[in-house]
């Protein structure tokens, strides 16, 4: 299993990556303290360092870098990691879903056509563990650095190569890995904040999605074709 | 060890729409009924409340209310030459689980089949000649007509408080309704739902082009409603959390809201949840099912429940699997064309159209009901001349957004990247400014699209998985090309800022993206036991005390969502059981 083979390698990287994690957390912390960033869109920044249930330091660095590349910080929203997307991913991979709940896992495991869907024996957690190792190995071979250490332009280039499937991972397909990575990032960015991503409902503010109250019987006619104003989107926590 | 239980009058397998209807009708007739449901109890008061029910990740993406593929799934191959592989997660379709079944988490589109849809083979043959039907297309007539079913459609609509606009009241055409519908004996119980921007723009554009748009008939109640059972529905609040979710307002018709409140207290009815039916025990000699064996999924204990009448009301897949696994009837053989169980598996061909974007208009996608929009039937069924088109059947074209849930429902103009800065900018700009105009088409039966038992993969209790051999055919692609062009013509008349090129599904059937949970066939109905599994009263030809409900009895799939037709046919069958079968058990039709 890719999972087991990876252990020595991840142990080796642990020390170096921990430093990286602290630096990243400190950097995002600075944004939180900056008065200039106190706009609605920037309040998502965590006050304290993110902690992980199942992510290794290397995995955490990878997911932080990927989230910030897929969802870059700009005037529309904080970055993916500032919005808690890596925390969302960590919790999802630690959840029953990450462990393969509601997934048919009997063999034989045979490679099929793409239209036949996912056919690996790996749970979502195992799949992302294997994928991050393969992606970082490819980045090291191609750029001499793991994904998280690449500059923004190279991260964009690397993710684009995975998206197109031209990134030739060792024994692992890059294109489906990218699709899974993109999907879980979008889930983290847009899901209810209760799961650890979408902090301060940053993506809902960006969209103008009002969230949960949702009583519109008398608003369909009134707002037909017009902007429905959303001052404060409502999430599950707002009702609890 | 199997514990044998005391015999009951009737056992009902599956507590979705049809199982709930049959349980209600049989208990009202004085029978003692045991309902077996593989999932858990679901009540609106406990399970469909805010804020939790509006958790998109849990219900929309992690499939809280759907069939658990760890327990059971289907395998898929595209042709008989391929190796089928299991669907390890749900994607293309989302069968329900738990009390209420898919009837608790559907959108609510509720249709009556068109008159010609009941007679696909004879209608096209008579009008266009036998050659119009390809040699390997195995479409059949239902053996019943629209007129037979009309009173039962009416009853199902009144059960559900359907909101809509009649187009043909006892032969009288009414402006604003569907002029192509068969005559109806009554108006819809509720007025149509409110209209969003997409509905209004589509309505105007379609009328300008000479078409006949009408409001989507919907099980989302436009006003509070009390049905003939005394069950009450609230008014739809257009919350945008309909399909994949239970309704917090009791405004979406479901077994849980519209039948179970009166069925559950009935002492003649006993519901057993976590009761996973493994097998129907069949006595070949007397051609009857004597009992059903089920497993308590909490303990693994097996029970045998004998019953006089067996109602098989699971989803399409389990209806067919239980027939094949229990050895009832003859499995269909695609080589010889003989046998019937598993024959004529069909699906639904969705998504032939365009997406439009507006810089100057807001669509507010989050203000929506599930079955919400405007439709036209001008290119559905045989409502238009098929001479020279090279296909038969068609589809309905519609516009409308059923939700603005942020994980699932976002579109960006063509050419936008899927991530990064430009994606974000386009998403922020267009999330509230788009909708689709698209056709949803019928899917007709072919000789080599069928269901049987998988030779390799097993479910959690050791039975073979159901194997689906299925692919799109030329008829589908041609309808897709046709409907996407017609959709584009209407969309263009709305003057969108941006419009995608017309698109339709090409290539092999793809099990990954959601398309529709409108799988049909496998235990089809008809008037000849050589070509159907059940007769026109839904009674199995090979077991006179076995009645099979739902879309597995459709010989082929019309463009419409199946719930209206299967609700009507459940009442039709229940009526025959109550008025004739109980008094005189035995075959209701002779071959």
Could A71 and B424 be called an inter-chain contact, meaning their C-beta atoms sit closer than 8 Å?
Answer: yes
Distance CA B550, CA B531 (A): 18
- DSSP strand pairing (B543-548 vs B85-86): unpaired
> What is the per-residue pLDDT across A62-80, written as a single tens digit (0 to 9) for each?
999 999 999 999 999 999 9
Both B126 and B261 in a single domain? yes
Q: Provide DSSP, B56-115.
A: IIIIIIS-TTB--TTT--EEEESSTTSPPEE-SS--S---B-STTGGGGTS--B-----G
Q: Is residue B182 part of a domain?
A: no
Instruction: List chain B residues with CB under 8 Å of A194.
Output: 55
Both B523 and B502 in a single domain? no
> What is the per-residue pLDDT across B65-74, written as a single tens digit (0 to 9) for each?
999 999 999 9
- Please report, for the domain that includes residue B208, its CATH number: 3.30.410
Instruction: List chain B residues with CB under 8 Å of A119.
Output: 85, 88
**Residue with token string 């299993």:** A1
Suggest the residue from B39, B48, B52, B54 to mutate for an interface test with chain A (most A CBs closer than 10 A). B54
Q: In Å, how far is A235's CA from the nearest CA of chain B? A: 8
| Contact yes or no for B188/B199 (Cβ under 8 A) | no
Both B97 and B41 in a single domain? yes
Q: Is residue B361 part of a domain?
A: yes
| Contact yes or no for B273/B260 (Cβ under 8 A) | no
Distance CA B524, CA B511 (A): 23
**Residues of the domain holding B466:** 1-53+66-161+253-348+449-470+519-591
| Contact yes or no for B408/B368 (Cβ under 8 A) | no
> What is the per-residue pLDDT across B78-123, written as a single tens digit (0 to 9) for each?
999 999 999 999 999 999 999 999 999 999 999 999 999 999 999 9
Token couple for B80:
């008989």
Q: In Å, how far is A8's CA from the nearest CA of chain B? A: 31
- DSSP strand pairing (B33-36 vs B168-169): unpaired
Number of Cβ atoms within 10 Å of the Cβ of A153 = 8
B514 touches A at CB < 8 Å: no
Q: Considering only CA atoms, which of B404, B440, B436 is closest in space to residue B517? A: B440
Q: For chain A, how many helices (H) and strands (E)?
A: 9, 0
Could A103 and B428 be called an inter-chain contact, meaning their C-beta atoms sit closer than 8 Å?
Answer: no
Spatial neighbors of A5 by CB under 8 A, at least 6 apart, are: none
Q: In Å, how far is A102's CA from the nearest CA of chain B? A: 5
Confidence band of A47 (pLDDT split at 50, 70, 90): low
Give the pLDDT confidence score for residue A25 in this predicted structure.
38
Confidence band of A48 (pLDDT split at 50, 70, 90): low
Distance CA B182, CA B114 (A): 6
Q: Is residue B176 part of a domain?
A: no
Q: In Å, how far is A169's CA from the nearest CA of chain B? A: 21
- Chain B's closest residue to A238, CA to CA, is B51
Both B200 and B286 in a single domain? no
Suggest the residue from B50, B55, B57 to mutate for an interface test with chain A (most A CBs closer than 10 A). B57
> What is the per-residue pLDDT across B395-427, written as a single tens digit (0 to 9) for each?
999 998 899 999 999 999 999 999 999 999 999
Both B35 and B71 in a single domain? yes
Both B398 and B502 in a single domain? yes
Taking chain B, what is the end-to-end CA distance rounded to the nearest angstrom?
40
- Chain A's closest residue to B76, CA to CA, is A116
Both B29 and B136 in a single domain? yes
Tell me the β-bridge partners of B353: B438, B503
Could B62 and A97 be called an inter-chain contact, meaning their C-beta atoms sit closer than 8 Å?
Answer: yes
B308 touches A at CB < 8 Å: no
Both B419 and B342 in a single domain? no
Q: Is residue B237 part of a domain?
A: no
Q: Considering only CA atoms, which of B499, B198, B519, B214 is closest in space to residue B361? A: B198
| Contact yes or no for B250/B44 (Cβ under 8 A) | yes
**Residue with token string 């004597």:** B290
Distance CA B391, CA B384 (A): 12
Suggest the residue from B249, B366, B430, B432 to mutate for an interface test with chain A (most A CBs closer than 10 A). B366
| Contact yes or no for B21/B571 (Cβ under 8 A) | yes
Q: Is residue B241 part of a domain?
A: no
Given a cut of 70, whether residue A7 has pLDDT beyond it is no
Which member of B56, B87, B364 has the closest CB to residue A117?
Answer: B87
Given a cut of 70, whether residue A32 has pLDDT beyond it is no
Scan residues 327-366 of B and list those with Cβ closer than 8 Å to A.
361-364, 366
Mean pLDDT of chain B: 97
Q: In Å, how far is A6's CA from the nearest CA of chain B? A: 25
Q: What mean pLDDT is predicted for residues B375-393? A: 98
Both B359 and B495 in a single domain? yes
Q: Is residue B235 part of a domain?
A: no
Distance CA B232, CA B261 (A): 9
Number of domains in chain B: 2
Both B134 and B149 in a single domain? yes
For residue B460, what is the DSSP state? T
> What is the per-residue pLDDT across B472-490, written as a single tens digit (0 to 9) for each?
999 999 999 999 999 999 9
Both B266 and B369 in a single domain? no
Distance CA B216, CA B371 (A): 6
| Phi, psi dihedrals of residue B561, rounded to the nearest 5° | -60, 145
Could B76 and A116 be called an inter-chain contact, meaning their C-beta atoms sit closer than 8 Å?
Answer: yes
Q: Considering only CA atoms, which of B65, B462, B89 is closest in space to residue A122? A: B89
Q: Does the model's pTM come out above 0.90?
A: yes
């Amino acid at each position: 299993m890719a999972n087991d083979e990876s252990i020595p390698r991840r142990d080796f990287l642990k020390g170096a990556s921990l430093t990286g994690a602290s630096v990243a957390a400190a950097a995002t912390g600075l944004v939180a303290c900056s008065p200039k960033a106190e706009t609605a869109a920037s309040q998502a920044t965590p006050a304290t360092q993110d902690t992980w249930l199942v992510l290794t330091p290397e995995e955490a660095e990878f997911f932080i870098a990927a989230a910030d590349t897929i969802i870059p910080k700009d005037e529309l929203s904080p970055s993916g990691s500032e919005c808690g997307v890596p925390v969302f991913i960590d919790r999802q991979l630690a959840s029953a879903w990450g462990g393969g709940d509601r997934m048919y896992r009997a063999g034989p495991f045979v490679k099929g056509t793409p239209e036949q869907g996912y056919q690996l024996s790996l749970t979502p957690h195992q799949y992302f563990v294997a994928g991050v190792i393969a992606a970082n190995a490819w980045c090291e071979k191609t750029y001499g650095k793991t994904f998280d250490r690449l500059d923004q332009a190279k991260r964009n280039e690397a993710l684009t190569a995975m998206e197109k499937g031209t990134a030739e991972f060792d024994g692992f397909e890059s294109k489906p890995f990218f699709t899974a990575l993109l999907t879980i990032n979008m889930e983290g960015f847009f899901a209810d904040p209760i799961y650890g991503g979408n902090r301060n409902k940053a993506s809902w503010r960006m969209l103008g999605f009002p969230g949960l109250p949702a009583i519109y019987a008398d608003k369909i006619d009134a707002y037909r074709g017009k902007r429905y104003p959303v001052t404060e989107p409502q999430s599950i926590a707002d009702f609890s | 060890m199997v514990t044998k239980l005391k015999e009951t009058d009737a056992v009902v397998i599956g507590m979705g729409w049809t199982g709930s209807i049959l349980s209600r009708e049989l208990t009202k007739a004085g029978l003692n009924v045991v309902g077996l449901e593989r999932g858990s109890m679901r009540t609106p008061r406990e399970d469909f409340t805010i804020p939790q029910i509006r958790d998109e990740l849990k219900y929309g993406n992690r499939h809280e209310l759907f069939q658990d593929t760890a327990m059971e799934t289907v395998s898929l191959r595209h042709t008989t030459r391929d190796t089928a592989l299991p669907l390890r997660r749900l994607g293309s379709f989302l069968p329900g689980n738990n009390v209420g079944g898919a009837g608790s988490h559907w959108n609510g589109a509720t249709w009556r089949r068109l008159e010609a849809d009941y007679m696909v083979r004879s209608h096209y043959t008579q009008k266009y000649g036998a050659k119009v039907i390809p040699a390997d297309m195995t479409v059949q007539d239902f053996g019943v007509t629209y007129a037979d079913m009309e009173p039962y459609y009416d009853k199902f609509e009144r059960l559900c408080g359907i909101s809509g606009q009649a187009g043909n009241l006892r032969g009288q055409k009414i402006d604003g309704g569907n002029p192509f519908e068969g005559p109806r004996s009554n108006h819809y119980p509720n007025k149509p739902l409110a209209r969003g921007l997409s509905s209004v723009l589509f309505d105007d554009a379609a009328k300008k082009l000479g078409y006949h748009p009408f409001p989507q008939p919907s099980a989302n109640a436009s006003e509070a409603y009390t049905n003939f059972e005394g069950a009450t529905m609230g008014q739809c609040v257009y919350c945008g959390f309909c399909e994949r979710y239970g309704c917090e307002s009791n405004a979406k018709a479901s077994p849980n809201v519209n039948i179970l409140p009166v069925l559950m207290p009935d002492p003649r009815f006993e519901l057993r949840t976590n009761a996973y039916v493994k097998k129907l025990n069949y006595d070949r000699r007397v051609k009857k099912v004597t009992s059903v064996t089920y497993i308590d999924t909490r303990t693994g204990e097996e029970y045998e429940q004998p019953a006089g009448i067996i109602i098989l009301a699971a989803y399409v897949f389990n209806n067919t699997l239980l027939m094949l696994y229990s050895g009832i009837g003859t499995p269909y053989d695609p080589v010889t064309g003989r046998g019937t169980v598993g024959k004529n598996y069909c699906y639904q061909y969705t998504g032939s159209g365009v997406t439009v974007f507006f810089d100057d208009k807001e669509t507010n996608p989050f203000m929506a009901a599930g079955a919400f929009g405007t439709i036209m039937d001008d290119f559905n069924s045989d409502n238009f001349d098929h001479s020279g088109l090279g296909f038969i059947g068609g589809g309905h074209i519609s516009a409308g957004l059923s939700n603005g849930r942020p994980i699932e429902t976002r579109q960006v103009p063509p050419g936008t990247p899927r991530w990064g800065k430009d994606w974000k900018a386009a998403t922020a700009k267009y999330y509230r400014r788009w909708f689709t105009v698209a056709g949803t088409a019928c899917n007709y039966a072919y000789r080599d699209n069928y269901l049987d038992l998988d030779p390799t993969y097993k479910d959690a209790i050791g039975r073979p998985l159901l194997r689906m051999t299925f692919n799109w055919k030329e008829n589908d692609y041609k309808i897709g090309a046709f409907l996407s062009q017609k959709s584009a013509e209407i969309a263009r008349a709305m003057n969108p800022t941006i419009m995608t090129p017309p698109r339709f599904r090409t290539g092999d059937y793809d099990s990954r993206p959601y398309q529709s949970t409108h799988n049909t066939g496998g235990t089809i109905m008809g008037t000849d036991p050589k070509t159907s599994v059940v007769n026109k009263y839904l009674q199995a030809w090979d077991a006179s005390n076995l009645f099979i409900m739902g879309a597995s009895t459709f010989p082929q799939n019309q463009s419409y969502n199946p719930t209206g037709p299967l609700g009507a046919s459940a009442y039709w069958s229940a009526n025959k059981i109550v008025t004739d079968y109980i008094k005189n058990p035995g075959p209701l039709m002779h071959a």
